[in-house]
Amino acid sequence: MENDLPKLEKILGVVFTNKEHLLSAVTHRSYLNEHREAVHEHNERLEFLGDAVLELAVTDYLFRKYAEKPEGELTAVRAALVNTTSLSEAAQKLGINDFMLMSKGEAKDTGRARQYILANAFEAVIGAIYLDQGYEAAAKFIGNQLFQKTDRIVEKRLWQDPKSRFQELSQEKVSITPSYELISQTGPDHDRVFNIGIYLKDEKVAEGQGRSKQEAEQNAAEAALAVKQWE
Protein backbone atom coordinates (compact mmCIF):
# COMPACT_ATOMS: atom_id res chain seq x y z
CA MET A 1 0.00 0.00 0.00
CA GLU A 2 2.85 2.38 0.80
CA ASN A 3 3.85 2.19 -2.87
CA ASP A 4 0.36 3.37 -3.87
CA LEU A 5 0.34 6.43 -1.62
CA PRO A 6 1.97 8.78 -4.19
CA LYS A 7 -0.80 7.85 -6.65
CA LEU A 8 -3.48 8.62 -4.05
CA GLU A 9 -1.75 11.89 -3.15
CA LYS A 10 -1.89 12.90 -6.81
CA ILE A 11 -5.61 12.11 -6.96
CA LEU A 12 -6.29 14.08 -3.77
CA GLY A 13 -4.07 16.96 -4.84
CA VAL A 14 -2.18 16.87 -1.53
CA VAL A 15 1.44 15.85 -0.87
CA PHE A 16 1.63 14.71 2.75
CA THR A 17 4.54 15.58 4.99
CA ASN A 18 3.74 12.55 7.13
CA LYS A 19 2.62 9.73 4.83
CA GLU A 20 1.34 7.72 7.79
CA HIS A 21 -1.56 10.16 8.18
CA LEU A 22 -2.81 9.19 4.74
CA LEU A 23 -2.08 5.48 5.29
CA SER A 24 -4.15 5.52 8.47
CA ALA A 25 -6.99 7.38 6.73
CA VAL A 26 -7.54 4.49 4.31
CA THR A 27 -7.10 1.72 6.89
CA HIS A 28 -10.27 0.12 8.21
CA ARG A 29 -10.21 -1.32 11.72
CA SER A 30 -10.74 -4.84 10.33
CA TYR A 31 -7.44 -4.72 8.40
CA LEU A 32 -5.41 -4.43 11.61
CA ASN A 33 -7.21 -7.46 13.05
CA GLU A 34 -5.83 -9.55 10.17
CA HIS A 35 -2.42 -7.83 9.98
CA ARG A 36 -0.96 -7.76 13.48
CA GLU A 37 2.38 -6.68 12.03
CA ALA A 38 0.97 -3.30 10.98
CA VAL A 39 2.14 -0.47 13.23
CA HIS A 40 -0.07 2.38 11.99
CA GLU A 41 -3.53 3.27 13.33
CA HIS A 42 -6.90 2.57 11.71
CA ASN A 43 -8.96 5.53 10.55
CA GLU A 44 -11.57 6.00 13.28
CA ARG A 45 -9.76 8.77 15.17
CA LEU A 46 -9.06 10.62 11.91
CA GLU A 47 -12.72 10.20 10.96
CA PHE A 48 -13.72 11.83 14.26
CA LEU A 49 -11.43 14.77 13.54
CA GLY A 50 -12.44 15.03 9.88
CA ASP A 51 -16.13 15.09 10.75
CA ALA A 52 -15.61 18.24 12.84
CA VAL A 53 -13.50 19.94 10.17
CA LEU A 54 -16.08 19.03 7.52
CA GLU A 55 -18.95 20.49 9.55
CA LEU A 56 -17.09 23.76 10.14
CA ALA A 57 -16.04 24.17 6.49
CA VAL A 58 -19.51 23.42 5.11
CA THR A 59 -21.23 25.60 7.73
CA ASP A 60 -18.94 28.52 6.95
CA TYR A 61 -19.53 28.12 3.20
CA LEU A 62 -23.33 27.91 3.48
CA PHE A 63 -23.49 30.80 5.98
CA ARG A 64 -21.68 33.07 3.54
CA LYS A 65 -23.36 31.82 0.35
CA TYR A 66 -26.96 31.99 1.58
CA ALA A 67 -27.14 35.11 3.72
CA GLU A 68 -30.94 35.16 3.44
CA LYS A 69 -31.66 31.59 4.57
CA PRO A 70 -32.74 30.84 8.16
CA GLU A 71 -30.77 28.54 10.45
CA GLY A 72 -33.20 25.63 10.05
CA GLU A 73 -32.91 25.52 6.27
CA LEU A 74 -29.12 25.91 6.37
CA THR A 75 -28.96 22.96 8.78
CA ALA A 76 -31.04 20.84 6.41
CA VAL A 77 -28.92 21.78 3.38
CA ARG A 78 -25.75 20.97 5.31
CA ALA A 79 -27.17 17.59 6.32
CA ALA A 80 -27.94 16.76 2.67
CA LEU A 81 -24.44 17.81 1.61
CA VAL A 82 -22.60 15.70 4.20
CA ASN A 83 -24.85 12.64 4.53
CA THR A 84 -23.52 9.10 3.96
CA THR A 85 -24.70 8.95 0.35
CA SER A 86 -23.10 12.27 -0.59
CA LEU A 87 -19.76 11.50 1.08
CA SER A 88 -19.56 7.95 -0.27
CA GLU A 89 -20.26 9.28 -3.78
CA ALA A 90 -17.42 11.78 -3.36
CA ALA A 91 -15.12 9.00 -2.16
CA GLN A 92 -16.09 6.78 -5.09
CA LYS A 93 -15.50 9.59 -7.57
CA LEU A 94 -11.98 9.98 -6.21
CA GLY A 95 -11.42 6.22 -6.35
CA ILE A 96 -10.66 5.94 -2.63
CA ASN A 97 -12.21 2.48 -2.63
CA ASP A 98 -9.24 1.20 -4.67
CA PHE A 99 -6.85 2.23 -1.90
CA MET A 100 -8.77 0.98 1.13
CA LEU A 101 -7.10 -1.52 3.46
CA MET A 102 -9.78 -3.86 4.85
CA SER A 103 -10.18 -7.42 6.00
CA LYS A 104 -11.13 -9.97 3.36
CA GLY A 105 -14.62 -10.10 4.83
CA GLU A 106 -15.16 -6.34 4.80
CA ALA A 107 -13.77 -6.14 1.27
CA LYS A 108 -16.67 -8.32 0.08
CA ASP A 109 -19.33 -6.01 1.50
CA THR A 110 -21.36 -3.99 -0.97
CA GLY A 111 -24.33 -1.69 -0.84
CA ARG A 112 -25.06 0.31 2.30
CA ALA A 113 -22.23 -1.28 4.30
CA ARG A 114 -19.65 -0.19 1.73
CA GLN A 115 -21.21 3.28 1.60
CA TYR A 116 -20.59 3.71 5.33
CA ILE A 117 -16.97 2.56 4.98
CA LEU A 118 -16.32 4.99 2.12
CA ALA A 119 -18.08 7.92 3.79
CA ASN A 120 -16.05 7.33 6.94
CA ALA A 121 -12.85 7.08 4.91
CA PHE A 122 -13.66 10.38 3.19
CA GLU A 123 -13.98 12.05 6.58
CA ALA A 124 -10.74 10.37 7.70
CA VAL A 125 -8.93 11.76 4.64
CA ILE A 126 -10.18 15.23 5.62
CA GLY A 127 -8.85 14.64 9.13
CA ALA A 128 -5.50 13.50 7.71
CA ILE A 129 -5.21 16.60 5.50
CA TYR A 130 -6.08 18.86 8.44
CA LEU A 131 -3.55 17.17 10.69
CA ASP A 132 -0.81 17.28 8.07
CA GLN A 133 -1.49 20.53 6.20
CA GLY A 134 -3.82 22.61 8.36
CA TYR A 135 -7.38 23.93 8.11
CA GLU A 136 -7.05 25.92 4.87
CA ALA A 137 -5.84 22.89 2.91
CA ALA A 138 -8.61 20.72 4.36
CA ALA A 139 -11.27 23.34 3.59
CA LYS A 140 -9.98 23.69 0.03
CA PHE A 141 -10.21 19.91 -0.46
CA ILE A 142 -13.76 19.86 0.94
CA GLY A 143 -14.78 22.72 -1.34
CA ASN A 144 -13.36 21.03 -4.43
CA GLN A 145 -15.17 17.77 -3.70
CA LEU A 146 -18.53 18.86 -2.33
CA PHE A 147 -19.50 22.49 -2.86
CA GLN A 148 -20.52 22.04 -6.52
CA LYS A 149 -23.42 19.89 -5.26
CA THR A 150 -24.93 22.74 -3.28
CA ASP A 151 -26.83 24.54 -6.05
CA ARG A 152 -28.60 21.34 -7.11
CA ILE A 153 -29.51 20.48 -3.51
CA VAL A 154 -31.07 23.91 -3.06
CA GLU A 155 -32.73 24.18 -6.49
CA LYS A 156 -34.24 20.67 -6.34
CA ARG A 157 -35.02 21.02 -2.63
CA LEU A 158 -33.06 17.83 -1.99
CA TRP A 159 -32.51 19.04 1.57
CA GLN A 160 -36.05 17.94 2.25
CA ASP A 161 -36.58 14.32 3.25
CA PRO A 162 -38.16 12.14 0.50
CA LYS A 163 -41.61 12.09 2.13
CA SER A 164 -41.75 15.87 2.31
CA ARG A 165 -40.49 16.25 -1.26
CA PHE A 166 -42.95 13.74 -2.70
CA GLN A 167 -45.88 15.26 -0.84
CA GLU A 168 -44.98 18.76 -1.99
CA LEU A 169 -44.48 17.70 -5.60
CA SER A 170 -47.59 15.50 -5.76
CA GLN A 171 -49.74 18.35 -4.47
CA GLU A 172 -48.10 20.72 -6.94
CA LYS A 173 -48.31 18.44 -9.98
CA VAL A 174 -51.49 16.36 -9.51
CA SER A 175 -53.21 18.04 -6.53
CA ILE A 176 -53.18 14.81 -4.51
CA THR A 177 -51.79 14.18 -1.04
CA PRO A 178 -50.02 10.78 -1.03
CA SER A 179 -51.00 8.06 1.40
CA TYR A 180 -49.06 5.09 2.83
CA GLU A 181 -50.25 1.56 3.50
CA LEU A 182 -48.53 -1.34 5.22
CA ILE A 183 -48.32 -4.20 2.71
CA SER A 184 -46.44 -6.75 4.82
CA GLN A 185 -44.09 -7.23 7.73
CA THR A 186 -41.66 -10.09 8.18
CA GLY A 187 -39.13 -11.31 10.70
CA PRO A 188 -39.15 -11.62 14.50
CA ASP A 189 -39.98 -8.69 16.77
CA HIS A 190 -36.32 -7.75 17.27
CA ASP A 191 -35.55 -7.87 13.53
CA ARG A 192 -38.77 -6.79 11.82
CA VAL A 193 -38.82 -5.64 8.19
CA PHE A 194 -41.75 -3.50 7.02
CA ASN A 195 -42.91 -3.24 3.40
CA ILE A 196 -45.01 -0.13 2.74
CA GLY A 197 -46.73 1.09 -0.41
CA ILE A 198 -47.14 4.73 -1.38
CA TYR A 199 -50.35 5.71 -3.18
CA LEU A 200 -51.81 8.61 -5.12
CA LYS A 201 -55.51 7.91 -4.57
CA ASP A 202 -55.91 4.33 -5.92
CA GLU A 203 -52.59 4.26 -7.79
CA LYS A 204 -49.79 2.40 -6.02
CA VAL A 205 -46.73 4.33 -7.16
CA ALA A 206 -43.97 2.39 -5.41
CA GLU A 207 -43.00 0.30 -2.38
CA GLY A 208 -40.29 0.69 0.23
CA GLN A 209 -38.78 -1.53 2.90
CA GLY A 210 -37.24 -0.62 6.23
CA ARG A 211 -36.51 -1.70 9.80
CA SER A 212 -39.20 0.72 10.95
CA LYS A 213 -42.39 1.99 9.37
CA GLN A 214 -40.86 5.47 9.17
CA GLU A 215 -37.80 4.18 7.31
CA ALA A 216 -39.98 2.13 4.94
CA GLU A 217 -42.15 5.18 4.18
CA GLN A 218 -39.08 7.32 3.42
CA ASN A 219 -37.72 4.60 1.11
CA ALA A 220 -41.11 4.27 -0.59
CA ALA A 221 -41.24 8.02 -1.17
CA GLU A 222 -37.70 7.99 -2.59
CA ALA A 223 -38.69 5.18 -4.97
CA ALA A 224 -41.85 7.06 -5.94
CA LEU A 225 -39.82 10.16 -6.85
CA ALA A 226 -37.78 7.99 -9.21
CA VAL A 227 -40.85 6.30 -10.71
CA LYS A 228 -42.53 9.64 -11.39
CA GLN A 229 -39.21 11.13 -12.52
CA TRP A 230 -39.94 14.17 -10.40
CA GLU A 231 -36.29 14.55 -9.28
Measured between alpha carbons, how far is 153 from 174 in angstroms, rounded to an integer? 23
Q: Is residue 18 annotated as involved in ligand binding?
A: no
Please count the other Cβ atoms lying within 10 Å of the Cβ belonging to residue 166: 26
**89, 123, 132, 222: which one is catalytic?**
123
Residue 202 falls in the annotated catalytic set: no
Measured between alpha carbons, how far is 61 from 74 in angstroms, rounded to an integer? 10
Q: Is residue 123 annotated as involved in ligand binding?
A: yes
Q: Is residue 47 annotated as involved in ligand binding?
A: yes
Residue 51 falls in the annotated catalytic set: yes
**51, 89, 132, 217: which one is catalytic?**
51
CB 192 within 8 A of CB 129: no
Which residues are catalytic, by number? 51, 123
Known binding residues: 47, 120, 123
Q: Which residues are annotated as a binding site for Mg(2+)?
A: 47, 120, 123
